[in-house]
Structure 1
Amino acid sequence: MGWATEALRALARGEQVTIRPRGGSMRGRIEDGQRVTLGPVDPATVQAGDVVLVRWKGGVLLHLVKEATGDRVLIGNNLGRVNGWARRQDVVARVVQVHPR
């Protein structure tokens, strides 16, 4: 998982971490390589519109919460694609700052 391994360790210690996510799936909200700061989050507080780091199919994704229910969140990208439902307990961080380019 590369960068994610170190980020997950820092988040597990209760620390914020700044990363540079790659890819275009969050274009318009977070650009390819743009710095973002993640903070630990209580998954129960996550709501639609949040951008979260979530464990997904053996990896992690930085994606948008489209909908939130009692124990699940529907995640997708910023371009209209929906990945599916994830358990709230798989949400490990929330974006607390998107740094200017």
Structure 2
Amino acid sequence: MLADTMGALDMVAARVAAGATVRFRPSGSSMVPLVRSRDLVTVSPVDPAKVEVGDIVLAKVAGTVYLHLVSAVDAAAGRVQISNNQGRINGWTGHAKVYGICVAVEGARRPRVDGKIRQ
């Protein structure tokens, strides 16, 4: 969705990493139709070891924060691959940089989030 080097998504990521559930409206079209520009999304802290392919996560890849899909998981190395919904791969990132999971879009609960939220 919105990719951001030092701005709004960095602030959201910091809040989520600190344990807060955050609602915000990211901009961009890279996650359509899962998330449309300016949709209200809810992101909660996540246990990165529990994310799966198809989850939408808030993660930092190569210095940029994204609200994008998990496209591959390398559990042995403790990392996930992040991609948009248009086929572009952003890259791999370690579990320490996977801050949150999208639990709802415009109030509609995302599938398969139960048991993944960090308490």
TM-score where L is the length of structure 2:
0.77
Contact 2:13 2:65 in 1 (8 A): no
State the partner residue of 1:51. Answer: 56
| Structure 2: gaps (5+ residues) | 1-5, 108-119
Task: Name the counterpart of 2:91.
Answer: 84
Deviation at 1:6, TM superposition (A): 3.1
Does the CA-based 8 Å contact 2:28-2:37 persist in structure 1?
yes
CA distance in 2, matches of 1:5, 1:79: 23
Task: Identify the match of residue 73 of structure 2 among 65, 68, 88.
Answer: 68
Q: How far off its partner does 1:79 sit?
A: 1.0
| Counterpart Cα distance in 2 of 1:17 and 1:46 | 18
1:16 aligns with 2:21: yes
Q: Could you tell me which residue of structure 2 aligns to residue 99 of structure 1?
A: 106
Give the letter aligned to residue 38 of structure 1.
V
Q: 1-side partners of 2:40 and 2:23: how far apart?
A: 6
Separation in 2 of the partners of 1:75 and 1:69? 12
Runs of 4 or more, structure 1, over 6 Å off, are none
User: CA RMSD of the aligned region, Å?
Assistant: 1.4
Name the aligned partner's letter for residue 67 of structure 2: L
User: Residues 74, 8 of structure 1: CA spacing in aligned structure 2 closer, same or farther, 3 A cutoff?
Assistant: closer
Please state how far the C-alpha of 1:42 moved relative to its aligned partner: 1.0
- The offset of 1:9, in angstroms, is 3.3
Gaps of 5+ in 1: none
CA distance in 1, matches of 2:97, 2:69: 14
